[in-house]
Amino acid sequence: MVTLFNTYLHQRSGIINSRRLFQGHITCFLTSLLSFLAIGCGLENKKELFSLTELSGSALGTTWSVKVVSYKEFDQSDLRNEIVQNIEKAEKIFSHWRPDSELSELNHAQDTNPRSIHPRLHELIKHAEWMNRETGGAFDPTIAPLVNLWGFGPTSGSRSTIPKDDIIAVTRKLTGMDKLEVLPRNRIKKRIAGMRLDLSGSAKGEIIDQVCQLLNRWNFKNYLVEIGGEIRAHGRGKKGNNGWIVGLESGDSGRGGFVSVALRDYAVATSGTYRLKKTNPKSPRNASHLLNPKTGLPIEHNLIAVNAFAPTARDADAWATALMVMGLQEGMKKAEEMNLVARFCKEVDGEIEFHYSTAYQRLFPAKNNL
């Protein structure tokens, strides 16, 4: 009897434990369900807080725009003011058009003594010096006297004038990186007093990078910065996909040259002969503002645009300028050597041909290559 009674108690205990286990599962299920619903509500709230902020303005003789995707509230007026102040400060350092800029002060100095300059200007000149070496002189910030001579600079006499060959030869003696010595501790030395710098081949990209640093300090993770067609983007873009969709300039989008690409944590810059040019009676081609430092003349090849990509806008800006000056054959060789992402737009008999570096084809599928 005792055995039967113990057996009964054991079975009863098992039934009770089973019920408790079942009730525990139900409790866990309900807890999980409530947690899932809470998370879902949280996501809905997060979606509701999503915002795309677009700010814009004018600077550097062109326009700027900043797009920010954010899940947090912030003072748009404060952000815009900081961006404007940042660009204004940079322009007062790098612009060769502003007579009150740090660069203009250096250009106007008529001595060859070592002088201290702004650290950011010193850094940009060091970068230009490196680009000059890497491109065999195709990228040359000392070209300012020639730019002025051809009517594309701030001290030009006449934009319609085509300079004479002997004057070009004399002016070329003022150019070349050998006319400049970059010294330690933010110092620089002109080797001839008439040497002047034009940093427009990389300054715009540098300013974009500085605006990006500002946005990083605001803890933004998803944004796009554009100044005069040069772009740097971070994050997944305004639709939360693979990046910000940007269009590449080709010099003539009306002839099938327009293509869009997804830009994420990368920058793109375009250099082209279509942007600024004038009639040149000495040549069947118009005189472009892009000059060949080795000849002192506007570039003569049939590239009309180059799109160059890089992690920073400064590098993208500089490489676009350099590759454009170098031309398709030499430029493509350098792009392959440096593993650069680049698209070359060449005009042939009124049509545009597109040539792509290996790195470009790897980054962007063939379906995007027009």
Tell me the pLDDT of the chain averaged across its residues.
85
Distance CA 331, CA 10 (A): 87
Distance CA 63, CA 49 (A): 29
Which pLDDT value is given to residue 311? 98
Does the pLDDT at position 250 exceed 90? Answer: no
Which pLDDT value is given to residue 349? 85
Does the pLDDT at position 45 exceed 70? Answer: no
Contacts of 103 by beta carbon, 8 Å cutoff, 6+ apart: 93, 94, 95, 96, 121, 197, 199
List pLDDT tens digits, range 7-18. Answer: 433 444 444 344
Distance CA 301, CA 330 (A): 11
List pLDDT tens digits, range 95-111. Answer: 999 999 999 999 999 99
Which pLDDT value is given to residue 255? 52
Does the pLDDT at position 36 exceed 50? Answer: no
pLDDT confidence tier of residue 50, bands split at 50, 70 and 90? low
Calculated CA dihedral for residues 267, 207, 176, 100, nearest 10 degrees = 160
* Region 238-246 average pLDDT: 90
Question: Which of 77-81, 142-146, 258-262, 278-282 shows the lowest per-residue confidence on average (mean pLDDT)?
Answer: 278-282
Which pTM does this prediction carry?
0.84
Does the pLDDT at position 68 exceed 50? Answer: yes
